[in-house]
Structure 1
Amino acid sequence: MSLIARIEALTRAKVAQVRALHGGDLSEVAHVTLADGREYACKTGPLVSVEARMLDAIGATAPAPRFVEGDLLLMDYLPGEPATPTHWRDLGRALRALHDRTGDAFGWPEPYAFGAVAIPNDPAPNWPIFWAECRLRPSLSFLPPDLAGRIETLIATLPDRLPKVRPALLHGDLWTGNVHFSHGRAWLIDPACYYGHGEVDLAMLHLFGSPPAAFRDGYGVVEPGYGERQPIYQLWPALVHYRLFGSGYAGMLDRLLSAAGV
């Protein structure tokens, strides 16, 4: 069955238009307009049902999933608009509210993936163990021996370097491409949720850019020592990029490890 036929079967309406949208490197996204006037963002991929559950977990800050079947997800369509300080301040507030929601354990009920890179989310008894075993160690076999050895050295120090925290709900893949501004506010899209330390989202958001002061005003004060932990948390997205896009990211890994003192 064609994509249009599947959409029509799910929505019980004729499709008037399908327009491709930018969906990043790992998914295909389109804007679907139905003959009855409804509009959806349509996403296809093997894990869209997991993503739909993550969108539900985030709640009002994310576009609502409306239909899910197999590898097809239809969610609310939100027309984009240029970012203003008000948008960025709203993002800070929304992210703080997300991180204020806590769970019983670190991790997530099911695994996820970025393309070919598996993301284990097995529950862990404490935060340093989760970060070591579910975020850093799974990538060691894909690295040159020198980088792998430095990460092993870092892993051994994590119990002394990462704080005792309550498991906070994370977006999990928070770069600027996964922040969408619409209707005068900020929305979180393409989540890879799990429960962890809220600083992980902050670290990734600052890895490929620098949010303006309005974001910091909205989010509020960070915990003491965040600057020392930031490169440790930025290693995870850097490892993902290395595995997805190649050794061109080795320099980023080297820089982050040096910043972490390893």
Structure 2
Amino acid sequence: MSDLGDKAAKLLGGELAHESSLGGGSLSSLVRIVLADGREAIVKAGPSPLTEARMLGAIKAAGVPAPEVLALNGEMLVLEVLDNDGGLGAVWAELGGHLKHLHASQGTRYGWTEDYAFGPIPIVNRWNDDWPAFWAEHRLLCHLRYVGTSMVRRLETLCDDLSNRLPTSPAPSLLHGDLWGGNVLVSGGTVSGLIDPACYYGHGEVDIAMLMMFDQPGALFFSRYGKLEPDFEERLAIYRLWPALVHLRLFGSGYRALVERLLTELGV
């Protein structure tokens, strides 16, 4: 048993009986614990437990399922166990409805009350009233020193033109921020919860772009979420650049081709 599980049990006021490591925690330690009194919990040690707890609270406040925070400190989050025994194929319509509710929860500016991180990579969420400027500064240009000279020029060219490619002031919707299929838990043919958020307020299409990188939501999803605005295909490519650049930095050169393909799609 790890020190993490024992500390979490003490946070819950109990004694650790069993602990098992969970897959999927590439950027944080993740274990499932069972206490001597039968209670169970998920324990996650990540970059900022308090920030993530606030993000999960914002998702739940928007009427979207997410795990309850049972306890936390500066080292870890202790979360409710949510069942996850199904695939997205059965819940596309429901997920579209949940995302519509999430994006209907809106702020007044773009950003978040605090910065966050994907492992060692900072996510800067400084407030801005100009959406293209926010996306350029905090999601694309921040990676320039890590990508090589030729890609720097292409990213700078794109960012110089973002005011012509992105809406200046879309509704500042509450975003999950890392919405891929692995962060949607499904059980019994329904969505049991969204996990591992990286929330901020921004254009709702950002979440759609991330979701469509590895999955195909299709008609059932959009029947509940609603149609995207004209010319959304180009914007989705712009929004996919951020996770592609993050993956390049986290996991290496295998993702360079993805970044280059997106830039080529965008004509830069």
- TM-score with structure 2 setting the length: 0.92
Matching residue's letter, 1:166: A
Q: Which residue of 1 aligns with 2:235?
A: 229
Report the alpha carbon displacement of residue 8 of structure 1 after superposing the two structures with TM.
2.8
1:176 to 181, 191, 198: 181
Report the alpha carbon displacement of residue 48 of structure 1 after superposing the two structures with TM.
1.8
Residues 133-182 of structure 1 deviation map (CA, whole Å, 9 limit, x = unaligned): 11011001111111110110000111111113021000001111111113
Secondary structure of the equivalent of 1:58?
Answer: helix
Q: Which residue of 2 aligns with 1:247?
A: 253
Matching residue's letter, 1:226: F
Report the alpha carbon displacement of residue 7 of structure 1 after superposing the two structures with TM.
2.2
Matching residue's letter, 1:245: F
Report the alpha carbon displacement of residue 208 of structure 1 after superposing the two structures with TM.
2.2
Q: Name which of structure 1's ranges 172-181 and 231-240 shifts more when overlaid on structure 2.
A: 172-181
Q: Does 1:72 align with 2:76?
A: yes
CA contact under 8 A between 2:88 and 2:181: conserved in structure 1?
A: no
Report the alpha carbon displacement of residue 29 of structure 1 after superposing the two structures with TM.
1.2
Distance in structure 2 (CA, Å) of the matches to 1:260 and 1:4 = 47
Q: Which residue of 2 aligns with 1:30?
A: 31
CA contact under 8 A between 2:47 and 2:119: conserved in structure 1?
A: no
- TM-score with structure 1 setting the length: 0.95
Gap change, CA 1:218 and 1:125, over 3 Å in 2 = same
Distance in structure 2 (CA, Å) of the matches to 1:46 and 1:222 = 33
Residues 73-122 of structure 1 deviation map (CA, whole Å, 9 limit, x = unaligned): 11110121112644222111111110111101100111111111111100
Distance in structure 2 (CA, Å) of the matches to 1:185 and 1:133 = 38
Q: Which residue of 1 aligns with 2:55?
A: 54
Distance in structure 2 (CA, Å) of the matches to 1:101 and 1:82 = 27
Secondary structure of the equivalent of 2:122?
Answer: strand
Report the alpha carbon displacement of residue 9 of structure 1 after superposing the two structures with TM.
2.1
RMSD: 1.6
Q: Name which of structure 1's ranges 47-56 and 196-205 shifts more when overlaid on structure 2.
A: 47-56
1:145-224 superposed matches below 5 A: 145-163=149-167, 164-186=169-191, 187-224=193-230
Secondary structure of the equivalent of 1:36?
Answer: coil
Gap change, CA 1:84 and 1:259, over 3 Å in 2 = closer
Secondary structure of the equivalent of 1:89?
Answer: helix
Residues 184-221 of structure 1 deviation map (CA, whole Å, 9 limit, x = unaligned): 42221100000000000100111123234432333221
Secondary structure of the equivalent of 2:98?
Answer: helix
CA contact under 8 A between 1:98 and 1:169: conserved in structure 2?
A: yes
Q: Name which of structure 1's ranges 207-216 and 53-62 shifts more when overlaid on structure 2.
A: 207-216
Secondary structure of the equivalent of 1:207?
Answer: helix
1:95-134 superposed matches below 5 A: 95-134=99-138
Report the alpha carbon displacement of residue 36 of structure 1 after superposing the two structures with TM.
2.2
Matched length: 262
Unaligned stretches of 5+ in structure 1?
none
Secondary structure of the equivalent of 2:213?
Answer: coil
CA contact under 8 A between 1:30 and 1:42: conserved in structure 2?
A: yes
Unaligned stretches of 5+ in structure 2?
none
Matching residue's letter, 1:197: H
1:258 to 250, 264, 268: 264
CA contact under 8 A between 1:46 and 1:70: conserved in structure 2?
A: no
Distance in structure 1 (CA, Å) of the matches to 2:88 and 2:246 = 30
Report the alpha carbon displacement of residue 224 of structure 1 after superposing the two structures with TM.
1.4
Distance in structure 2 (CA, Å) of the matches to 1:84 and 1:5 = 34
Secondary structure of the equivalent of 1:16?
Answer: strand
Q: Which residue of 2 aligns with 1:89?
A: 93
